[in-house]
Amino acid sequence: MNLKAIWILVFLLQFSGVALSQHSIQSLSGQWRFSENGTDAYFPAQVPGNIFTDLERNNLIPDPFYGTNEALVKWVSLKNWKYSLNFAPDQKLLTNKQIFLCFESLDTRADIIFNGDCIAQSNNMFLPLKLDVTNLIRKDTNTVEIIFYSPVILSDSLWENYPVRLPDHPRVMLRKAAYHFGWDWGPQLTGCGVRKPVYLEGILTAVIDNIHLVTRSVRNDTASIDCHISIYATHPVKINLELNLNETSSSPVKFNFETEKGLHTFTVNFQIPDAKLWWPNGWGGQHLYRIQCQISDTLGNVLDKQTETFGIREILLVQNSDTSGSSFYFQVNGKPIFIKGANYIPADFFAERTTFEKYEMLISGAAQSNMNMLRVWGGGVYEDDVFYDLCDQYGILVWQDFMFACAMYPFDSTFVESVQSEVKEHIIRLRNHPSIALWCGNNESDEGWHNWGWQKSFGLNRNDSAAIYQGYLHVFDNIIPSLVAEYDGTRPYHPSSPSTGWGRTEAYESGDVHYWGVWWGMRPFETYKSHTGRFVSEYGFQALPNQPTLLQTGVSADSGIHDAVLKSHQKHPSGFETISHYMHMYAHVPEKLTDYIYLSQYIQVLGLTTAIESHRRSMPFCMGTLYWQLNDCWPVVSWSGIDYYGRYKALQFHIRKLFEPFILSIVESDHNLEFWAISEKNQRETSILNIQCFSFTGQQLWSLQYPFQLNGVESMKVADIKTSEFLKHPEESYIKAVISQNNIILTEKLFFPAHFKDQKLPECDITLQCKQKDDSVYLTLTAPCLCRFVELSYNNETDLFEDNYFDLQPGHPKQIRMLNISPSDYNYNNIHIRSLQQIGK
Ligand code: BMA
């Protein structure tokens, strides 16, 4: 061999080593151009993004969230828009055997034109597209153009022309997020766009397509795990595979095999001794394992490398018949878990611009509020990976709806095939997350079909009705559960939430229920007590967001609720009317906007306290409570506890206390006052319940003591007293109950036998003292009489305190630490305090 030949060989080996290491990805996200299709005016576009944010960035429309701008930008939905990009491929990428153009999400109906030819159509924003462009890609400049069709015009015409009229809206015709067409907490900004990353993927020999980890069993602390690895090869090839598990002393698993062209799955079983389990928040740690998989060719060139995270836990949804109907509870690692949480909607109307910080604020906030589950609601989007990563990390179980809500969907084969691909895609994407607890077919489609009078309002005859419902059953009772079984097989499937509509008695005997008798049904909060159900997956009450959020949105400071901007940010058909109706019932309806904000938040807390305590008292009959809704997608009056800008309403401060593992609940029932201890901990010691009654000026009227023994995880009525005997002046007194063990207070609770409306609360000034300790400001509040629902604000912000919206008892100073304000920045004059009795009637 001469010298030259050796050099070439070395070069080839080196070259192939470089080209073969990993499979190549070239990002095509970033700056694109857009235009109204058919015009020549091009503007810079941001990918990922959408048409509204691109138009706004170019000053072609105002901020759609501000003022009444939403109405001004409606025209955007009626146009077709073109997005385009010229790019030169990386030369390294061109050396691959196969090259794909990949779109993670195109929203929605679009033609994809590559170098002048239409190569595909997109029709499902939930389904990534992977287009083989190996023979189309040019060495120098390439052009991608995407023409998006108006979702409004298109869905209208598809709906009109469908053989049957599908309830309840043309939006069902497109696989596009339902809330994009407007919702009772969201704007109607029905846009389009390249919502997620775009890239080129080059494959030379073989890549790891997927890693799926399944816990087979955990016996004597040893977990047996099946690792299914799918490899995609461009041609038959011999492969060395290496698997490495973090933090165990075990050496890597290695083996060789030969794969055919195409996609093939191999299974490796391994054992993890001393396995650490993953638990929901409040029940144990959230241990996560990482496994690294690497494939190389026989020369040792690394072809691809991937890391997957997984947790070891078993989850069951137990639905056993009992004397009342049937149970509906989650059992994790053998323990029945009472579920405490909320429903989650996209954290931004333009979901793709949700930042990591916002996800983390919401999910860590849920964990700090003692939640253990969020429900990803079916009218939104399948969330980004980071959402589920954070849920894994914080111990938040995820009730995952598939993206169908409040409607009946097309059932022709093209539509159903698209649904099938979408469902498969997201099961595969999410199945390694220990947080995923349940796959749920849809939100309220079954309830709507049976209870909302669609057959009549949409004029459906018997044949059409039968066809629509058959189509529904085919997808939700047949296709989706089969996909869940095939591609996951470790989690339960629930066809529709709720199981039964809240107007039927079965709703309170079996399955899950959305209890909307309060709010939609205008029934008093007291009805929560008799309508608990087995698992309450929705219920809620609206409150206005705090003033800074409204001012940021263009609502004028001195307006009332009739302000035009405020009205355009209230989407529920009877929103303010309903809030005022309940204010009337329990308080009064104030004139000034700041008072209305504050009282609406008081009423929201009152309602949800009644609901949550009822659900928790009913344990184990009821085993879950998910209120509607955790968060907002724009600044709006809604059922949320956290607003669009992340500001907490009073509710969110109360949720943390209502969801504590051990609480006291006091309730009036049949002329008795009942005292309940509700424990999620295995407490078995003797405890003391101490009950005291006070006048509003702090004079003790009577006291009672009850020793009792908790028997573990349970809800237990510890005492009841006759109201006629003990509550002689309900409008002038309050009750304080405390549970302690060996003189250590475990939990305490104040109870007001009369509603605020009837209470004779004295006028009362709160004294404020502040002191500096370490790097924090501490406030001490003192009052000579009872002050209810005390709100602290600093420069109008109410989130800067470790507690807020609390009751201040006479003669019981309360110390509060301020958050995010250093002693050097603190100014006494910026603090403002108010309590219920100051709100003008
Ligand atoms: C529930 C949800 C949403 C709605 C909410 C409040 O039923 O499923 O459809 O936003 O009610 O009305």
In the predicted model, is pLDDT for residue 9 greater than 80?
Answer: no
Confidence band (pLDDT; 50, 70, 90) for 248?
Answer: low
Regarding the beta carbon of 443 and ligand 1, being less than 6 Å apart is answered yes
Average pLDDT value over all residues in the chain: 95
Task: Give the Å distance between the CA of 328 and the centre of ligand 1.
Answer: 21
Percentage of the chain beyond pLDDT 70 is 97
How far is ligand 1, taken at its centre, from the CA of residue 350, in Å? 19
Ligand 1: does its nearest atom lie under 6 Å from the Cβ of 184?
yes
Predicted pLDDT of residue 473:
98
pLDDT digits (tens, 9 = 90+) for 439-470: 999 999 999 999 999 999 999 999 999 999 99
- Tell me which amino acid residue 346 is: P
Q: What is the 384 CA–ligand 1 centroid distance (Å)? A: 22
> How far does residue 516's CA lie from ligand 1's centre (Å)?
9
Ligand 1 atom closest to Cα of 519? 12
The answer to whether 67 touches 73, Cβ cutoff 8 Å, is: no
Query: pLDDT at residue 779 above 60?
Result: yes
Could you tell which of 183, 184, 447, 514 is best to mutate to test the pocket of ligand 1, judged by most ligand atoms within 8 Å of the CB?
A: 184
The confidence score (pLDDT) of residue 3 equals 31
Number of neighbouring beta carbons within 10 Å of residue 417: 11
Backbone angles phi, psi at 215, to 5 degrees: -80, 115
Q: Is the CB of 616 under 6 A from ligand 1?
A: no
Reference 179, options 351, 61, 353, 343; nearest CA is: 351
Which ligand 1 atom sits nearest the alpha carbon of residue 377? 8
What confidence score (pLDDT) does residue 22 get? 61
Residue 6 reports pLDDT greater than 50: no
pLDDT single digits (tens) 118-139: 999 999 999 999 999 999 999 9
The answer, yes or no, to whether any atom of ligand 1 lies below 6 A from the CB of 168, is: no
CB 541 less than 6 A from any atom of ligand 1: no
Does pLDDT of 653 surpass 70?
yes
Compute, in angstroms, the gap from residue 639 CA to the centroid of ligand 1.
9
Distance 406 CA to ligand 1 centre (A): 9
CB crowding 529-549: b at 16 or more within 10 Å, else e:
bebbbbbbbbbbbbbbbbbbb
Helix (H) or strand (E) run with residue 18 in it: helix 3-20
- Atom 12 of ligand 1, nearest CA residue: 184
Measured in Å, residue 440 CA sits from the centre of ligand 1 at 16
What's the pLDDT score for residue 712? 81
Distance (Å) from CA 403 to ligand 1 centroid: 14
Q: Per residue in 654-686, pLDDT tens?
A: 999 999 999 999 999 989 999 999 999 877 789
**Rounded distance from Cα 631 to ligand 1 centre (Å):** 13
Q: For a ligand 1 pocket test, name from 404, 444, 451, 499 the mutation site with the most ligand atoms within 8 angstroms of its C-beta.
A: 444
**Residue 10 clears pLDDT 90, i.e. is over it:** no
Cβ neighbors of 827 (< 8 A, separation 6 or more) are none
Beta bridge partners of 436: 398
Map residue 773 onto helix, strand or coil. Answer: strand
pLDDT over 70 (residue 409)? yes
> Could you tell me which of 142, 145, 25 has the C-alpha nearest to residue 86?
142
Q: Which of 276, 382, 375, 825 is nearest to 624 (CA)?
A: 375
Residue 746 Cα to chain centre, angstroms: 31
Distance, CA 265 to ligand 1 centroid (Å)? 41
Q: Could you list the beta-strand ranges (E) of 479-623.
A: 493-497, 513-514, 536-538
For the cut 70, the answer to whether the pLDDT of residue 247 exceeds it is: no
CA-nearest residue, atom 4 of ligand 1: 184
DSSP H/E element including 420: helix 413-430
Sign, CA torsion 634/638/641/647? positive
Q: Are the CB atoms for 537 and 624 separated by under 8 Å?
A: yes
803 neighbors 792 (Cβ within 8 angstroms): no
697-702's contacts with Cβ under 8 Å and 24+ in sequence apart are 697/762, 697/784, 697/785, 697/786, 697/810, 698/784, 698/785, 698/786, 698/809, 698/810, 698/811, 701/733, 702/726
| Strand bridging mode 110-114 / 117-122 | antiparallel
Where in 450-560 does DSSP place strands (E)? Answer: 493-497, 513-514, 536-538
Distance 342 CA to ligand 1 centre (A): 12
The minimum-distance atom of ligand 1 relative to the CA of 406 is 9
| 468-478 confidence digits (pLDDT tens) | 999 999 999 99
CA–CA distances in Å: residue 46 to residues 33, 34, 87, 193, 779: 8, 9, 15, 10, 46
Per cent of the chain over pLDDT 90 is 93
The two tokens of residue 422 are 């979408």
Computed on alpha carbons and rounded to an integer, the radius of gyration of the chain in Å comes to 30
Of the candidates 365, 251, 245, 364, the one whose C-alpha atom is nearest the C-alpha of residue 312 is: 245
pLDDT at 570: 98
| CA-443 nearest atom, ligand 1 | 8
- pLDDT bucket at 249, cuts 50 / 70 / 90: low
Ligand 1 atom 10 nearest Cα? 184
Whether residue 444 has its Cβ less than 6 Å from ligand 1: yes
CA nearest ligand 1 atom 6, residue: 184
Hey, what's the torsion of the CAs at 821, 825, 829, 834, to 10 degrees?
0
* Residue 236: burial class (beta carbons within 10 Å; 0-12, 13-18, 19+): exposed
Q: Residue 726: its pLDDT value, please?
A: 87
**Tokens encoding 134:** 């190996």
> Residue 404 and residue 382: Cα distance in Å, rounded?
11
Cα–Cα distance for residue pair 841/835, rounded to 1 Å: 13
Q: What is the pLDDT of residues 285-329, one digit of tens each?
A: 999 999 999 999 999 999 999 999 999 999 999 999 999 999 999
How far, in Å, CA of 405 to CA of 179, rounded? Answer: 9
- Distance between Cα 628 and ligand 1 center (Å): 7
Q: What is the DSSP string of 112-152?
A: EEETTEEEEEE-BTTS-EEEE-TTT--SS-EEEEEEEPPHH
- Tell me, using a 6 A CB cutoff, whether residue 514 lines ligand 1: yes
560 — pLDDT class (breaks 50, 70, 90): confident
pLDDT at 604 > cutoff 90 = yes
Q: Is the CB of 628 under 6 A from ligand 1?
A: yes
- Kindly indicate the confidence band of residue 5, based on its pLDDT and cuts at 50, 70 and 90: very low
pLDDT (0 to 100) of residue 840? 66
Q: What type of residue sits at position 23? A: H
224-228, 258-262, 836-840, range with the lowest pLDDT: 836-840
171-194 average pLDDT score: 98
Contact 151, 177 (CB under 8 A): no
Across the range 10-28, mean pLDDT stands at 54
Count the Cβ atoms, other than its own, within 10 Å of residue 642.
Answer: 25
Q: Is 514 in contact with 444 (CB distance < 8 Å)?
A: yes
First to last CA, the chain: 101
Indicate if the pLDDT at residue 841 is higher than 80: no
The answer to whether residues 530 and 524 touch, using CB atoms and an 8 Å cutoff, is no
Give the Cα-Cα-Cα angle 149, 154, 159 (nearest 5 degrees): 160
Which residues in 618-732 belong to E strands, given as ranges? Answer: 624-627, 662-669, 672-679, 686-695, 700-709, 714-722
- Does residue 183's CB lie within 6 angstroms of at least one atom of ligand 1? yes
Q: What share of the chain is helix, strand, coil (3-state, %, to 5)?
A: 25, 35, 40
Closest CA to 315 of 493, 443, 479, 482: 493
Summarised one tens digit per residue, pLDDT across range 704-739 is 999 999 888 899 999 999 998 888 899 999 999 999
Instruction: Report d(CA 688, CA 691) in Å as an integer.
Output: 10
Q: Which residue has better confidence, 252 or 197?
A: 197
Interval between CA 74 and ligand 1 midpoint (Å): 24
The CA distances from residue 784 to 698, 699, 810, 834, in Å, are 8, 11, 5, 15
Rounded CA separation 45/27 (Å): 16
For residue 244, pLDDT beyond 80: yes
Question: Confidence band (pLDDT; 50, 70, 90) for 1?
Answer: very low
CA of 636 to the centre of ligand 1 (A): 15
Atom 9 (ligand 1) nearest CA: 406
| Rounded distance from Cα 452 to ligand 1 centre (Å) | 14
Tell me the DSSP string of 285-348. -B--EEEEEEEE-TT--EEEEEEEEE----EEEE--B-SSSB--EEEETTEEE-EEEEEE--SS
- Counting ligand 1 atoms within 8 A of each CB, the residue from 169, 181, 376, 406 with the most, and so the one to mutate, is 406
CB of 538 sitting under 6 A from ligand 1: yes
Please answer whether residues 487 and 420 qualify as being in contact, where contact means their C-beta atoms are separated by less than 8 angstroms.
no
- Return the pLDDT at 711: 83
Surface-to-core class of residue 254, CB atoms within 10 Å of its CB (0-12 exposed, 13-18 middle, 19+ buried): exposed
